[in-house]
Amino acid sequence: MTLLDGKKLATQIKSEIKEKVLTRAAEGKKIPHLAAILVGENPASMAYVRNKVKSCEEVGFTSTLFKEPDTISENDLLHLVENLNNNPEIDGFIVQLPLPGHINEHLITLAIKAEKDVDGFHPVNLGKMMLGLPCFLSATPKGILEMLSRYEIPTKGKHVVVVGRSHIVGTPMSILLSRKGKQGDATVTLTGDVHFPSVEPVSSYISPVPGGVGQLTVMALIQNTLLAAERKD
Ligand code: GUN
């Protein structure tokens, strides 16, 4: 059984991106700039965002964090999104979810310009993903594809079981694995949760928690931000 080492892969990807940023700087190209909007003080969200900002620093990106109180109105948040949409300095940005109950998350997601939606949550990016067109893939599915690719695990002709069907992970994952391609061409089933000790004896590969695919999700966001900057070159 092979343990899929996300930490090792993330370190590798980080140094590859750092190298690209240095090359861009030497060529006088723009340093990728990621912005994040954090509303309220949800401890998990604060930790995720801190991690994203830290990763930006590690690869040499510029980052800006907008910390907003959980009392911010939907209108004010929409204005902030609009400002970031129109700010040429910002290559990509995210609005950390979940948002307080009085704010409509769909409305906010729809307001983000698809070209800057490095989370890959906008319907334009999800639609392009369905069609196999270039787009921003959401972080966890992108991290999983990266892991399959770097460990050279082909899925062609395989029966893949995807656990869960969230908009952020399960649903895009099932679509990506059934698309044409090396990390695709699979028959996909969606199911409930997985019991690690039970699947361990019969699994060829396991991505552990912690230290597995979670490590690659932030790298996926970083990769999308670099892509956003490169598209403007
Ligand atoms: N909340 C949990 N995961 C994510 C993510 O990948 N992006 C955003 N914006 N919010 C999240």
- From the options 2.60.40.10, 3.40.50.300, 3.30.420.40, 3.40.50.10860, give the CATH code of 28-115: 3.40.50.10860
pLDDT for residue 109: 97
> Consecutive sets of 10 residues in the chain, 233 residues long: mean pLDDT of each?
92 97 97 98 96 97 98 98 98 97 97 97 94 93 95 92 86 91 78 75 84 86 94 88
**What's the 138 CA to ligand 1 centre distance in angstroms?**
9
- Give nearest CA residue, ligand 1 atom 2: 97
Strands 2-3 and 62-68 come out as: unpaired
Q: Which protein residue's CA is at the shortest distance from atom 11 of ligand 1?
A: 97
Q: How far is the centre of ligand 1, averaged over its atoms, from the C-alpha of 140 (Å)?
A: 9
Q: Residues lining ligand 1, CB < 6 A? A: 94-97, 119, 139
**Which residues make Cβ contacts (< 8 Å) with residue 201, sequence separation at least 6?**
none
pTM of the predicted structure, to 2 decimals: 0.85
The alpha carbon of 121 and the centre of ligand 1 are apart by a number of angstroms equal to: 9
* Whole-number pLDDT of residue 192: 54
In this structure, which amino acid lies at residue 59? V
- pLDDT given for residue 166 in this prediction: 87
Question: Could you identify the atom of ligand 1 that is nearest to the CA of residue 95?
Answer: 9
pLDDT of 191 reads 63
At 193 the pLDDT is 61
Residue 54 is predicted with a pLDDT of: 97
Q: Do 28-115 and 137-217 come out as alike in CATH topology?
A: yes
Nearest CA to ligand 1 atom 9: 96
Distance, CA 41 to ligand 1 centroid (Å)? Answer: 15
User: How many A from CA of 97 to the centre of ligand 1?
Assistant: 5
d(CA 217, CA 19): 20
pLDDT of residue 55: 96
Q: Whose CA is nearest to atom 3 of ligand 1?
A: 97
Q: Report DSSP letters for 122-157, one per residue.
A: SHHHHHHHHHT-S-PPPHHHHHHHHHHHHTT---TT
Which uninterrupted H or E stretch holds 218? helix 214-231
Looking up tokens 């490590």 gives 215
Domain boundaries of the chain, sorted by first residue: 28-115, 137-217
The crossing angle, in degrees rounded to 10, of helices 139-150 and 214-231 is: 100
* pLDDT reported for residue 206: 85
- CATH homologous superfamily, domain 137-217: NAD(P)-binding Rossmann-like Domain (3.40.50.720)
Residue 190: its pLDDT value, please? Answer: 84
